[in-house]
């Protein structure tokens, strides 16, 4: 199992690790600071040794780094990893913003998330809503920025699965449940949002800056999509 350094410190920019699996350009390490693709988040990118990390994926409890060249990486090789930090930090800002947005819309309407895509430049969240015009989008974004300006601390901790699922607000996905693990990782953003999540976030909402609504789309009956970015 790959040790997840990004769960211990989401601000780790560089790290050393040992190659535990090398299948061509597909490398597993004993530990990594690269957050894999999943939960709507794109993966981190960066370098391992002299090779470019194009994408990072998760299979079970193992994390694989997909490289543009193995640069001689073989089983047992010690390697230095470096994240594309500016890109990662924008993903963290976007992700925490998405949690606040989902909490605001859920609190105002009861809507749950039907899909999301968190990326460095522009992100989106889909909600099971019948109506979602630009006026409402502006209202929700204003509420998100109000929460951000309160400089809320963002904390992560683990909780027994049955205890977490006994709190309805901890799961805001419409048609999905958290993975079948004995313990779930919980992300708490001040008094605004608490939910099960395995991704990376900022330590305090003041690091987000400001959320800007980009556009809304109707994606079928009772499915509304909101695009946003941070600046």
Q: What is the mean pLDDT of each run of 10 residues along the chain (231 residues)?
A: 96 98 95 96 96 96 92 92 98 98 93 93 93 84 98 94 75 57 89 93 98 90 91 96
Predicted pLDDT at 131: 76
The topology (CATH level 3) of 88-230 is 3.30.980
CATH number for region 3-83: 2.40.30.130
- C-alpha pair distances (Å), 2 with each of 68, 171, 181: 21, 26, 16
Predicted pLDDT at 178: 55
- Beta strand residue intervals within the chain, DSSP E: 3-4, 14-23, 26-29, 31-32, 46-48, 51-59, 62-67, 78-83, 113-117, 123-127, 154-160, 183-189, 193-196, 211-218, 224-230
Predicted pLDDT at 186: 92
**Ranges of each domain in the chain:** 3-83, 88-230
Residues whose CB falls within 8 Å of the CB of residue 203, separated by 6 or more in sequence, listed in order: 10, 11, 153, 154
Predicted pLDDT at 171: 64
Domains 3-83 and 88-230 share a fold: no
Task: Kindly report the pTM of this predicted structure.
Answer: 0.93
Predicted pLDDT at 220: 78
């Amino acid at each position: 199992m790959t040790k997840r350094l990004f769960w211990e410190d989401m601000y780790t920019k560089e790290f050393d690790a040992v190659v535990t699996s090398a299948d061509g350009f597909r490398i597993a390490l004993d530990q990594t600071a690269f957050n894999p693709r999943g939960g709507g988040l794109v993966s981190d990118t960066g370098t391992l040794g002299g090779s470019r990390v194009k994408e990072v994926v998760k299979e079970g409890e193992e994390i694989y780094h997909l490289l543009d060249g193995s640069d001689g990486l073989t089983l047992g090789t010690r390697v230095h990893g470096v994240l594309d930090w500016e890109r990662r930090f924008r993903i963290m800002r976007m992700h925490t913003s998405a949690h606040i947005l989902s909490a605001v819309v859920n609190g105002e309407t009861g809507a749950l998330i039907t899909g999301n895509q968190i990326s460095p430049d522009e992100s989106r969240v889909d909600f099971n809503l019948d109506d979602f015009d630009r006026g409402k989008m502006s209202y929700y974004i204003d509420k998100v920025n109000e929460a951000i300006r309160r400089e809320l601390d963002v904390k992560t901790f683990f909780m027994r699965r049955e205890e977490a699922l006994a709190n309805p607000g901890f799961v805001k996905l419409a048609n999905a449940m958290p993975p079948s693990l004995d313990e779930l990782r919980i992300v708490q953003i001040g008094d605004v949002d608490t939910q099960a999540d395995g991704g990376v976030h900022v330590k305090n909402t003041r690091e987000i800056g400001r959320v800007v609504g980009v556009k809304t789309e109707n994606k079928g009956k009772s499915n509304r999509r909101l695009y946003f970015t941070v600046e």
